[in-house]
Structure 1
Amino acid sequence: MKKSAAFFAFFLVSGSAYAVVPTPTLPAPPPMPAPQIGGVKAAVLLDVNTDQILLDQNGNTSFDPSGLVKLMTAYLLYQAEAQKMVQPGERISVSVDAWHAPGSRMFIQPGLPVTVDQLTHGLLIDGGNDAAIAIAQAVAGSVGGFVDLMNREAAGMGLRQTHFVNPDGMPTPGQRSTAVDMARLARALLVKFPQVAKIAGQASYQYNHITQYNYNPLAGQKDITGLGVGLASADNWDLAVSASKDGRGLVAVILGASSRAVAGTDASAMLHYGFHGWQERQVYPAGAIVAQLKRVDWSPETLSVITPKTIQVVVPKPSQGKVESRFVADPTLQAPLKANTQVGTLDLLWNGKVLKSEPVLAKNAVAKAGWFSRLWHRVRGSL
């Protein structure tokens, strides 16, 4: 007997063919349940392409992010390289402060040659605090100046619950962040500087004849691309892991795990859930009209609202249900309005739950209508 997706076909018996019988309609299997991450302070899973939070356990509560601070240090280093302030092959002078940095180290020292690229490896693979101090001084001239840049960049990214005190993540009063903020910082780093994945996912590197191994317990595994590890205190591990598969990227953040191994096991379960329990869908192409607003005191009377870019969402598997959209106009909209001005947001919903919100723009400009135009609009509307 041969079975297809649509029907069963039966054997011929005594020269007669039996009728094709449709298969019964079966209910769709339930969506993959989210893993329950126990024994940690916070856990967040974020989809990189869509910026959607797929799993959130205590993700907006502030904690010491410890070594995950280095994600911002790396971001500013890559930004400085893009601005030609430093170059990967450039030799950096190592200060005494960097040499004597406590905690994890790549063992740089004054007088020993080290390049920006080598510091990047030391920062991202074994979380070298000495590398972080040397990078801060090379980019901003001082650690204090670099920390100012870190907080300015965090504010620009909208990381409202994050405040940095140092570039290395050593526990210091006042340094705080959340799992959601760290996930969004990791996403910004991956999106703007994708070259980070070529280094952060490596299992080891060598500097000055010393082989250092990646503290990330998932480093070197298939699809894993980084990103950072931190130890806030004894039995208090933080981990940010990025992974890429079939064109999708995910970031899993764990704060406050009891061990590095536990953090890795939890992050692995989260990544599996993200890749196998969710799928990507395109909802609108760039430039799609999603709403039209009419006002008699506008000229022209109609304002078309468009998407500035392709809008994608990830939805639970199996793909049962419908993605719906809801335009929310800016309540303060007034003419005149220029084309490409943001006029509101578009909520994308799955079974009534908001998956994400995207800004939407005016396709055309509108001006204030004169008295004759307003009168004509009213007359035409009454016909």
Structure 2
Amino acid sequence: MKKILLVCLSIFSTASFAQQLPLIHVNVPVKAWVIMDYDTGEILADYNGKERLEPASVTKVMTSYLIAEALDKGVIAPDAKVSISPYAQSQEGSRMFAEAGTQITVHDLVLGLVIQSGNDSSIALAEYLRGSEPNFAVEMNKKAKELGMNDTNFMNASGLPHPNHYSSAYDLAVLSRHLIQDFPEHYEIYSHKSFTWNGITQKNRNTLLWTDPSVDGIKTGHTRSAGYNLASSAIRNGFRVIVVVLGTNSEKERAQLSTELLNYAFMNFEHKKLYDADQVILQSPIHEGESNSVNLVSDKNIYITYPRGQYDNLRASVEVKKPLIAPVEKGQKIGEFIVKNGTQTILNTPLYAQETVEQASFMKRYWDQFKYKFQNKFQKLKAQIM
């Protein structure tokens, strides 16, 4: 059994978060909602967060994600012309009014998809990228599994009702987070308030873009069976929050509830960067190496989100497998950085060796082995005496 070296960075009291947060009073009918911290992916609060429901046009976040990915990889080009099929033109509901037989650039179709929530543009892009909408839906589901969306199944690119087309508030928050994280330039389109195509100007259906300057997305959705849905995101003082609301009774109610949940998050939680990527968090002892220690770092910025005023109630530690014996390669996982609130782990992120530590000469290895065995015997004897 491998031993664990536990290095406490700071120790505070361990009051429970739940005991310190005010209750969320929801005054409108709703099927499900979640509040997610963007940087950590932590769910700050939720109601029926993993219940499978109709996403309606919030589906288009996945459609645009796959298009953004294809653009990023150079599989398609923004100025490429897409031929509009009769099937794409025939779509009901929200449209950019693309006419069959015409050609529209990928860029303009993306604007129609994101801003106007065009069902026609969704189908046109799906057909262009994968040949048909069913083929595109297969790719949507592959990506959903890859992103960890375990309560999601897509049957089409637009979100029109289908018995086997579903997702959850949690999964849609996960998807939204990846969209912002993976394709920030593409995500910028979600903040556009209107788009004009073929002489027709349509406003973005996300009314929060007009009522809250901190909101920069994301996507609305509505069908009679789904109700009114909204995935939204806002950033205030460097703290970004994602809120997904599913199944309200009106456009006004989905906006009202989304605003209340965003405000709740910003009023009741604080956000702090603990370490930058590649910043040394700990120098861990290493045996039988040319160096006696190795720097431990994270490959990404480490953030923590906690109830407002409760930073001193957290306990942070680093766990390292013991004994750590050279050689160690740069980038090798060495341990974990953990933050706890009582017995609840609220952050667990891997730590890696910042540099390579080669194996030492025979004499130094022999000496390190002797010291390690002696220290272990001394510690056992001390434990018996005490």
Distance 1:122 1:382 in 2: 71
Aligned residue type for 1:378: K
Summarize deviations over 1:355-382 as a string: whole Å, max 9, x none.
3322222456689999956455313544
Aligned residue type for 1:231: H
Partner residue of 1:227 out of 205, 218, 224: 218
Distance 1:276 1:364 in 2: 41
Q: Secondary structure at the match of 2:101?
A: coil
Q: Any conservation in 1 of the 2:335–2:351 contact (CA below 8 Å)?
A: yes
- What is the match of residue 198 of structure 1? 188
- What is the match of residue 36 of structure 1? 25
Distance 2:321 2:159 in 1: 40
Deviates more, 1:205-214 or 1:336-345: 336-345
- What is the match of residue 173 of structure 1? 163
Indicate whether 1:248 and 2:253 are aligned. Answer: no
- What is the match of residue 82 of structure 1? 72
Shift of 1:336: 7.4
TM-score by length of 2: 0.79
> Which structure's relative contact order is higher, taking Cα pairs within 8 Å and 6+ residues apart?
2
Q: Secondary structure at the match of 1:195?
A: helix
Aligned residue type for 1:169: G
Q: Any conservation in 1 of the 2:52–2:166 contact (CA below 8 Å)?
A: yes
- What is the match of residue 9 of structure 1? none
Distance 2:257 2:284 in 1: 46
Partner residue of 1:73 out of 58, 63, 71: 63
Rate the CA distance shift 1:235–1:192 in 2: closer, same or farther, 3 A: closer
- What is the match of residue 218 of structure 1? 208
* Identity fraction in percent: 28
- What is the match of residue 333 of structure 2? 342
Shift of 1:335: 8.8
Q: Secondary structure at the match of 1:239?
A: strand
Structure having the larger proportion of residues in helix: 2
- What is the match of residue 284 of structure 1? 275
Summarize deviations over 1:163-195 as a string: whole Å, max 9, x none.
222111112222222211111110111122223
Matches within 5 A, 1:122-141: 122-141=112-131
Q: Any conservation in 2 of the 1:201–1:220 contact (CA below 8 Å)?
A: no
Q: Any conservation in 2 of the 1:105–1:129 contact (CA below 8 Å)?
A: yes
Distance 1:77 1:188 in 2: 14
Shift of 1:35: 2.8
Structure 1 portions without partners, runs of 5+: 1-29
Q: Secondary structure at the match of 2:299?
A: coil
Summarize deviations over 1:203-230 as a string: whole Å, max 9, x none.
3221111122222232333222111112
Distance 1:40 1:343 in 2: 45
Distance 1:36 1:377 in 2: 58
Distance 2:282 2:145 in 1: 31
Q: Secondary structure at the match of 2:312?
A: coil
Q: Any conservation in 2 of the 1:34–1:273 contact (CA below 8 Å)?
A: no
Partner residue of 2:346 out of 336, 339, 355: 355
Q: Secondary structure at the match of 1:378?
A: helix
Q: Secondary structure at the match of 1:171?
A: coil
Q: Any conservation in 2 of the 1:235–1:259 contact (CA below 8 Å)?
A: no
State the Cα RMSD in Å: 3.2
Distance 2:375 2:21 in 1: 54
- What is the match of residue 313 of structure 2? 322
TM-score by length of 1: 0.80
Shift of 1:87: 2.4
Partner residue of 1:379 out of 358, 374, 381: 374
Deviates more, 1:109-118 or 1:221-230: 109-118
Matches within 5 A, 1:14-33: 33=22
Rate the CA distance shift 1:379–1:302 in 2: closer, same or farther, 3 A: farther
Distance 2:319 2:375 in 1: 27
Structure 2 portions without partners, runs of 5+: 1-18, 379-386
Q: Any conservation in 1 of the 2:190–2:216 contact (CA below 8 Å)?
A: yes
Deviates more, 1:280-289 or 1:123-132: 280-289
